[in-house]
Structures are given as C-alpha cells and as structure tokens.
Amino acid sequence: MAYHMPAGILKKLRTVGIHHTWNTICNILATHIRVTTTMNTEDGHVIDVRTCTTPTEEQHMIYNNLHMKHTPPGRKYIKSPIKTQRCSVEK
C-alpha cells in the first residue's frame, strides 16, 4: 500500500522530538486496528463482535502530539440472520 508523505504531520511530530520517517509512522500505527469476531448461534443467527486494540505507548504518544483521539470506541455487538450460501458444486 502506498502512502503519500504528509509533510505537515511530519513537521508537527519533529517539533516535539519524534523524528521518524513517514513509513515508520505508518508501521507504528498499523497495529492499532479494529477487530471483528464472528460467531454462529444455535438459533440461526450470526453475532459479530467489534472491538479495538489498545494503542501502544508509542502510538499513544503520536496520537497525543497530533491531538488525535486514541481511545478505542466501545465494543459493538451485531446480531443478524445467517445468510446461507450454496457452494457451486451443490445443486
């Protein structure tokens, strides 16, 4: 994945002593993600549980210096009917 190098972000980080390259910043922040866990229920539904990983100290520091929110949104539960899919070999 190609990222454009935002000079303004790098300049702001450098003024507070963070002298990483843009690729390094992207790699540091890449592990702060939203995860979906999917489970089938006995009553024919699927439950998706969405959670965020907790930011590391380094991610926290970058977010703070960029005045960005870094607290993950709360856990979200979504229950929906299972969509049955037929395999191409089934007829």
Sign of CA dihedral 63, 64, 68, 69: positive
Residue 4 confidence (pLDDT) = 58
Assigned domain for 40 exists: yes
pTM above 0.85, yes or no: no
The pLDDT score that the predictor gives to residue 25 is 94
- Which tokens belong to 91? 């007829």
Query: Is 91 within the bounds of a domain?
Result: no
What domain range includes position 44?
3-81
> How many domains are contained in the chain?
1
Q: Please indicate, yes or no, if residue 90 is contained in any of the structural domains.
A: no
Per-residue pLDDT of the chain (91 residues; tens, 9 = 90+): 445 568 889 999 999 999 999 999 999 999 999 888 998 888 888 888 988 888 999 999 999 999 888 776 777 777 788 776 544 555 4
pLDDT score, position 77: 72
| 86 is a domain residue | no
> What is the pLDDT at residue 72?
67
